[in-house]
Amino acid sequence: MSTALFDLSGKTALVTGSSRGLGRAIAEGFARAGARLIINGTDAARAEAAAGEFRAAGHQALSAAFDVTDEAAIVQAFERFDADGVAVDILVNNAGIQHRKPLVEFTTDEWRKVIETNLTSAFVIGREAGKRMIPRQRGKIINIGSLGSELARPTIAPYTTAKGGIRNLTRAMAVEWAQHGIQANAIGPGYMLTDMNQALVSNPDFNNWLMSRIPAKRWGNPDELVGAAIFLASDASTYVNGQTIYVDGGMLAAM
Ligand code: NDP
């Protein structure tokens, strides 16, 4: 009974940005829980290679490479899923980018790129998934936020703005779609060891500051997101709507 609640057998999960990083770790967790995977990234070869590795490990996986800022490509991908009889039961809006510089130096184009990649993409892909989940009267949407969904830090203004938007987009999806058996929630990862943070990992000053701030006194490993992701993707969370669960080693709890 307890493990059945978390079983994803027979479910198909589209995880954007799952060719590497946190998306890949979440996809691995879903595969172990029995889900079929749709692996995404902008680099088609990398996405297909990742899908191939999942298949070699005995899981069901296909790749669908598209840029999450390309609305036409997103619409086309969902039309292809429809034509192939692939229903997305679980959507994880994970793909994202970071861009660091002082607020006064950001160009409007740089601002837009971060907002479109981290926030507008979740709206467009969420809309395409939602349209198809509503008639089925079930579905799971997990948007990936950040500590930036709650707090700001110097040099990441568009990212913080986008991730704050993710928290409220999640609520917007929840209030419209909960009545259709769809649960939309978010995960806010703390500082996790991925390519995106390479510049911070190798900066001793930043590391000293971080270790003084994180109650757990360490960086997070990508696979530490898996438990929250499976919870929100599974029948264990059928009455959980519009929440952001922070997986951050206690950082948001600390003064
Ligand atoms: P990575 O840079 O390690 O991986 C990014 C993934 O997203 C890759 O698979 C990449 O694929 C894909 N991607 C990037 N841009 C696009 C795009 N335009 N369209 C489709 N796919 C794209 O990032 P992380 O794993 O660290 O981050 C994943 C998410 O988690 C992001 O939303 C990030 O903001 C969030 N996050 C990360 C934290 C961390 O500590 N790492 C903390 C809090 C939140 P490809 O190379 O093929 O384009």
DSSP string covering 52-115 = HHHHHTT--EEE----TT-HHHHHHHHHHHHHTT---SEEEE---------GGG--HHHHHHHH
CA of 97 to the centre of ligand 1 (A): 6
Distance, CA of 182 to CA of 141 (rounded, Å): 7
User: DSSP characters for 233-247?
Assistant: HSGGGTT--S-EEEE
Residue-wise pLDDT for 142-161, tens only, equals 999 999 999 999 999 999 99
Rounded Cα gap, residues 69 and 113, in angstroms: 8
pLDDT at 3: 84
Ligand 1 first shell, C-beta below 6 A: 16-23, 40-43, 46, 67-69, 94-97, 117-118, 144, 146, 189, 191-192, 194-197
Quick one: angle between helices 108-115 and 157-177, nearest 10? 40
Cα 127 from chain centre: 15
Q: What is the pLDDT of residues 17-71, one digit of tens each?
A: 999 999 999 999 999 999 999 999 999 999 999 999 999 999 999 999 999 999 9
Reply yes or no on whether the pLDDT at 139 is more than 70.
Answer: yes
CB 106 within 8 A of CB 92: no
Helix (H, G, I), strand (E, B) or coil at 139: strand
Q: What is the pTM of this model?
A: 0.98
pLDDT at 24: 98
Question: In this structure, which residue's CA is closest to atom 6 in ligand 1?
Answer: 17
Give the chain's mean pLDDT: 97
Q: At 151, which amino acid appears? A: L
Specify the pLDDT at position 83.
98
pLDDT at 183: 99
SS (H, E, C) 180-197: HCEEEEEEEECCECCHHH
Per residue in 218-252, pLDDT (tens digit) is 999 999 999 999 999 999 999 999 999 999 999 99
Asked whether the beta carbons of 93 and 122 are under 8 A apart, the reply is yes
Q: How far is the CA of 77 from the centre of ligand 1 (A)?
A: 19
Model pLDDT, residue 217: 96
Q: What is the 239 CA–ligand 1 centroid distance (Å)?
A: 28
Active site includes 239? no
- For a mutational test of ligand 1's pocket, the pick from 14, 54, 74, 94, i.e. the residue with the most ligand atoms closer than 8 A to its C-beta, is 94
| CATH label, 2-247, candidates 3.30.465.10, 1.10.1750.10, 3.40.50.1370, 3.40.50.720 | 3.40.50.720
Q: Rounded to the nearest 5 degrees, what angle is found at the Cα of 219, between the Cα atoms of 47 and 203? A: 90
Decide: 43 and 19 in contact? Cβ < 8 Å. yes
Token pair belonging to 248: 């951050």
pLDDT tens, residue by residue, 195-225: 888 888 899 999 999 999 999 999 999 999 9
